[in-house]
Amino acid sequence: MTTIQVPKAELDRYKIDQGRSILDLSQEHPVMLVFLRHLGCVFCREALRDISSQKQEIEGKGVKLVLIHMEADEVASGMLARYGLDEVWHLADPDCELYRQFGLTKGSISQLFGLRTLVRGVQQGVTFQQFGGSSLGDSFQMPGVFIVEKGHVVAEYIHRTVSDRPDYFDLAACCTI
């Protein structure tokens, strides 16, 4: 069970699909909110690859994906299209207000630059040729994933380090319709 309590007024404040809010969408079906790091981050790109490869299975569970990012919509749209996620709902939160509502904080030095993170970063950069991404947003912001159903957070994955790799499909399985 989750420990996060986000006020419904906050969920209602953020609009995604044709002016509908996260709260409205969560009344119809579970919503997976994926809070991304800056889009230049090698681990953010890894997350986009993972989500892209699991998208069909996640949506097959009746869960709708919403990607939260810090960049302008035009910048994010281009990046999402590179990963085949151009049809996925996304929401710009440049001031990280929604990140804070969900308890996502700025990372510590060990969360951002610990040995495990550095090793995984090099592996990802070399394997997928993803070095050189510029910081588009707050490079200290920690990511996280939350399932919201009927206005309540029913599952969460809060990264301990930026290199953590959640299983999005397993999170979606919490609320099979």
Helices 42-60 and 115-128, interaxial angle, to 10°?
80
Q: Tell me what pLDDT residue 24 has.
A: 94
Q: Which two tokens stand for residue 3?
A: 């420990």
Q: Which two tokens stand for residue 138?
A: 């707050």
Does a structural domain hold residue 96?
Answer: yes
Note down the domain range covering 55: 8-172
Does a structural domain hold residue 78?
Answer: yes
- Determine the residue type at 77: S
Does a structural domain hold residue 70?
Answer: yes
Q: Which two tokens stand for residue 6?
A: 């986000």
Q: Among 165, 82, 80, 150, which residue's Cα sits nearest to residue 120?
A: 165
Q: Tell me what pLDDT residue 115 has.
A: 56
Q: Tell me what pLDDT residue 82 has.
A: 92
For residue 110, pLDDT beyond 70:
no
Q: Tell me what pLDDT residue 113 has.
A: 58
Query: What is the band of 160 on the pLDDT scale with cuts at 50, 70, 90?
Result: confident
Does a structural domain hold residue 52?
Answer: yes
Looking at residues 68-90, what average pLDDT do you find? 92
Say which CATH number the domain at 80 has.
3.40.30.10
CA distances from 73 to 47, 80, 92 (A): 18, 10, 6
Q: Among 29, 84, 91, 34, which residue's Cα sits nearest to residue 61?
A: 29
CB 51 within 8 Å of CB 89: no
CB 136 within 8 Å of CB 38: yes
When divided into structural domains, the chain yields a total of 1
Q: Tell me what pLDDT residue 118 has.
A: 55
Does a structural domain hold residue 1?
Answer: no
Q: Tell me what pLDDT residue 48 has.
A: 94
Integer Cα distance of 126 and 78 in angstroms: 23
Does a structural domain hold residue 22?
Answer: yes
Does a structural domain hold residue 37?
Answer: yes
- Tens-digit pLDDT profile for residues 112-146: 555 565 566 556 554 544 545 555 667 788 899 99
